[in-house]
Amino acid sequence: MDDLTSTVSAQDINDAYARLLTVVRRTELQPNDRLSKLYECEVYLKREDLQSVRSYKIRGAYNLMSQLSSSERDAGIVCASAGNHAQGVALTCALLGVCGSVYMPQNTPRQKIDRVRAFGGDNVEIELIGDTFDDTYAVAAQYSRETGKTFVHPFDDPRIVAGQGTVACEIAEQLGAGNEPDFIFAPVGGGGLVSGISVFSASALKQVKIVGVEPAGAACLQAAMANHGPITLEAIDTFVDGAAVRRAGELPYNICSQLLPELVTVTEGAICTELIKLYQTEGVIAEPAGALSVTALAAFKDRIIGKRVVCIISGGNNDISRYPEILERSLIDQGLKHYFLIEFPQRPGALRRYLDEALGPDDDITVFEYIKKSNREYGPALVGVELTRNSDYLGLVERMKAIGLRYEVISRDSALFRFVL
C-alpha cells in the first residue's frame, strides 16, 4: 500500500487479532433466514452486539492501550465517546489497571453511562459535557494536552483502526476459504471500523465489496469524500448516537479515499423500522447504529441477489426508554403516522363530524390537543392519526377536504414536528 495507508497494514490487523484472542469474544456469524428470503441471497449477521461491552469498540481500545509504555499507563488515559468506545476503554482500564478520564456528551443514554461505571469501577472518572460527540471531543482533547495523558481516540488512530479491522479477520475465518463474502456492510461514525475492514479486505478478501453505511443526519464520511478531505458538518441529527459524528477522522478518510468503499446513507426512520424487525423477529436488541448495516440492504436489493452478504450488527447498547421514540419514528417513516393542525369550528358536533365522516374505520387518533378560544369562530387542534395502511392517507385527506375542514399538514422539517417527536 502507498503512504496513505502505510500507517495501517493487514499485518497490523493480524497482530491486533493475536493480541485480542483472550480478551474479546469471537462473536457469532449467524445466517439470517428472514433477510435471506427477502433479498434472495445469503445474509449473515456479525453479532458484535454480543461482546461483553455490547459493541466492537473493545477491539480498538484494548489494541491501543495494551501497547502503551509503562510510563504512559502510569500517567493515565483520556477518551471522548458517545458511549460505546467509552465502555471499551473502561473495561480495558480495569483489565490493565490503568486510570482513565472518560468524557461523554450530556445526552448520552443513561444505560451507557451506567455500564461505563460498571466496567471501569474505580479506574475511571466520568465527565458529561457538550451536546454532541464533537463538543465532548474538543474538551477531552484539551484536557489530554494539558495533563500529558494519552488520548485514546475512538477512530482516528492506527492502533484503533487495526483493532476494529479484526472484525474482518473473524468473518474470513468463520466463512472459510472458498466461501468469502461478496459484500460486507459496516456502520460508519468516524470511520474507524469501515477503514480497518477495508485494509484487511484489500489484502485477504480482494473480491469483497465494502459498503459503509451512515445515518442521513450525520453523513460525515460522505461529506469528507465529496470535499476531498474531512469537513465539519454544521448540524447533525444525534438520534443515531453511536454514529453521530460531525467530522470524519483524517486516517479513516485517507484509507477510504484510496480503497474506496461504497458509501450509502439511510434515514433515521428506516433504521427504527429495522430495529423493530430485528427485535420482533430475531430477538436481536440492537441500538440505532447497530442496525445501520441491515437497513442499507434495501438500497442494494438488485445487486445482492444470489450473493453472500455480511452485515455487522455493531452495537446493542440501547436504553429501553428510547423505544417509544423508535416506534414513533418507524411509523412516520412507513407513512403510518401523520400530524395535522386542524381548525375546528367552535360549535357543538364539529369533532363528532370529523370522527364520523373524515376518520376511516381503521384509523386511530393518538394525539389530540385542543384549547378552546373565546370569541373566535375556529379553534386549532393538534391531531395525530395512526393508519393501518399507508395507502389510507389520501382517503383521509380527501374526506377532510370534503367536510370543509381547514388544516395544515405538519411537515417533518417544521419546529412543531420536532416538538411532537
Instruction: Please state whether beta strands 77-80 and 150-151 pair in parallel, antiparallel, or not at all (unpaired).
Output: parallel
C-alpha cell at 154: 475512538
Q: Residues 334, 390: contact at Cβ < 8 Å? A: yes
Return the bridge partners of 291, or none: none
Distance CA 192, CA 58 (A): 13
Signed CA dihedral, 400, 401, 405, 408: sign only? positive
C-alpha cell at 369: 390537543
Q: Is 307 a catalytic residue?
A: no
Alpha helix locations (H) across 368-414?
A: 393-402
Distance CA 180, CA 166 (A): 16
Distance CA 337, CA 292 (A): 22
The one catalytic residue among 57, 149, 277, 337: 57
Q: Is 314 a catalytic residue?
A: yes
- The C-alpha cell 497490523 sits at 12
Q: What is the DSSP letter of 92?
A: H
Residues 6 or more apart in contact with residue 330 via CB below 8 angstroms: 269, 272, 273, 275, 276
The one catalytic residue among 201, 314, 330, 337: 314
Distance CA 360, CA 356 (A): 8
- The C-alpha cell 450530556 sits at 106
Distance CA 198, CA 252 (A): 10
Signed CA dihedral, 94, 286, 171, 189: sign only? negative
- The C-alpha cell 469498540 sits at 57
Q: Residues 180, 308: contact at Cβ < 8 Å? A: yes
C-alpha cell at 174: 468463520
Supply the residues annotated as catalytic: 57, 314
